[in-house]
Structure 1
Amino acid sequence: MNKQENRWEELLKTDRPNILWYCTDQQRFDTLRSLGNSHIRTPNLDRLVAGGVAFQRAYVQSQICTPSRASFLTGRYPASNHVHRNGNAYFPDHETLVTRLFAEAGYDCGLIGKLHLASAASGSEKRTNDGYRFYQWSHHPMPTLDPSQHAY
């Protein structure tokens, strides 16, 4: 058993916090009232910041959304995980997402929004072994924008 596996085994034996990992694309740090923007009202996000952790000095590894998201979820630079642009033909099978590690540690993981680590131009995205049990809209890139089906 390697160090990482030992660490996850230790976590399984302890009380674990609930984790809400809220990630938005193209959102700067100063777009929330709770982080200093007095010109906008963001009460729901402000409550999340007040009761959680706001990473105020975090930096993305790519200005492009897919490589940035892949880096964020794998912990690896785009040059290492080979996701350099939007619309990649595939996502490497050998890459491990942090959500899979959470699932293996006993967390029940879900995704609401988009993942799109590979091209979804064909109307679907090849599933990765990502640890998500629940998805809402994340792998339907051409949705019907019917308000009765989606809440925004």
Structure 2
Amino acid sequence: MFHRVPRHALAGCVASVLVLSGCTAGSTAESRALERRGTAAPATASSPSAAAWQDPSEDLDDATVWLSTGRRSGGLEQALPAKPAGGTVYVATQCQGRGTLTVDAGRYGTSTEHCSERPDGSLNGAAMRTREAATRLKVTASPGVTWAIAVGWDRHAPQPPE
């Protein structure tokens, strides 16, 4: 069973740091050059989609990363390795756009994220006490949703009761 930890506080913290440090959105030489070429300039700090995108593998701390997808859209099906005996398997997500992201990590759990224009995600963990056979990761996302997933394992994480 997954334990969910939302990242809303991180987005608020980043926004507070930008405000307190005096960073402002403005026209830069780079954004003016992009506008002249007809290319959209990067989002400014005041737009909802400008919240910091975080690679979910950063949430895995000391875990051994089995898979890190990078930012993408659409779906994915990929095998996960069998894990060594004992420990915790973590599935970290990040998504942005209107819709849902469903992550099915087989015996390690399933979760559905309700994505919005601001990047957000969760960190889920499934504790195992015995060696597990390999399983498949299946990701399904609504059209227009971008996402990233990282799966890791930590042998030092708390073990479930026997």
TM-score normalised over the length of structure 2: 0.25
Decide which structure has the larger Cα Rg and report it.
2
Higher percent of residues as helix: 1
Structure with bigger strand share is 2
